[in-house]
Chain A
């Protein structure tokens, strides 16, 4: 079975540009999570969805960040405009809600904003 798929794996952009990160959860999973990992702040939960509905976005840093899940197979995390402090590794994870609560992570997107 395919795991969580994220694209792109690496992204280098300039400050002010729009960045879109993509995630395809494991088939059949109904919860999806976006995390950000930095040296300073560790692994932070940005937002999570249950059945395509955003449940908790309290971790989204500011209005420049937005996330959507138009269907069960796809989610995006968008940063507009991007800033150097957004440089981090962004992980997507999925889970089968009602199960053992195990989250399975994608390989991450390493974002560098110059």
Chain B
């Protein structure tokens, strides 16, 4: 069974600064997908970014980028130029053969 570990229950960042959220996973599979989802207080799960394991290039979506280290089974999320609207819980997810496993989440606070 796959496991996903987010070792930082809480993180804080100053507005306009950069923050990195950590995620590691354990799997014996070679073909899979990784995702970061954002859950603001509204509870809506919003897709932030995704990474295909077969791609070596790190995914980027505007201010959000990942550092995908397949050998180390690490998938961190970097948020640049943090904004107040980035405050939320962030979940890392591993998906293989249709099933997803989610980490426990990291609560991000953005300080003005």
Complex Cα distance, B43 from A111, in Å, reads 13
Complex Cα distance, B93 from A95, in Å, reads 15
Question: Given that A101-B33, A101-B95, A108-B43 are known contacts, is A42 also in contact with B100, CB under 8 Å in the complex?
Answer: no
Instruction: Report B14-55 CB contacts with A as 1/0, cut-off 8 Å.
Output: 000000000000000000010101000011111100101000
| In contact, B45 and A105 (Cβ under 8 angstroms) | yes
Complex Cα distance, B91 from A55, in Å, reads 24
| In contact, A102 and B47 (Cβ under 8 angstroms) | yes
| In contact, B99 and A42 (Cβ under 8 angstroms) | no
Tally the A-B contacts, defined by beta carbons under 8 Å.
48
Complex Cα distance, B43 from A80, in Å, reads 25
Residues of A within 8 A of B42 (CB): 107
| In contact, A97 and B98 (Cβ under 8 angstroms) | yes
**Cβ of B86 under 8 Å from chain A:** no
**Cβ of A78 under 8 Å from chain B:** no
Cross-interface CB contact of B99 among A56, A100, A107, cutoff 8 Å: A56
Taking CB as reference atom, which chain A residue is nearest B33? A101
How many A residues are at the interface, by size bracket? 20 to 34
Residues of A within 8 A of B103 (CB): 42
Within the complex, the shortest CB–CB distance from A49 to chain B, in Å, comes to 10
**Cβ of A52 under 8 Å from chain B:** no
Within the complex, the shortest CB–CB distance from A97 to chain B, in Å, comes to 7
Residues of B within 8 A of A48 (CB): 98-99
Within the complex, the shortest CB–CB distance from A102 to chain B, in Å, comes to 6
| In contact, A89 and B95 (Cβ under 8 angstroms) | no
Within the complex, the shortest CB–CB distance from B56 to chain A, in Å, comes to 17
Complex Cα distance, B101 from A33, in Å, reads 12
Within the complex, the shortest CB–CB distance from A101 to chain B, in Å, comes to 4
Seen from chain B, the residues whose Cβ lies within 8 Å of a Cβ on chain A are 33, 35, 37, 42-47, 50, 52, 91, 95, 98-105
Known: A50-B98, A91-B45, A107-B42. 12 other contacts (CB 8 A): A31-B98, A42-B102, A42-B103, A42-B104, A42-B105, A43-B91, A43-B105, A45-B99, A95-B98, A97-B98, A102-B47, A105-B45
A–B pairs, 13, beta carbons within 8 Å = A33-B100, A42-B104, A43-B102, A45-B100, A91-B45, A95-B98, A100-B52, A102-B33, A102-B35, A103-B100, A104-B47, A105-B37, A107-B44
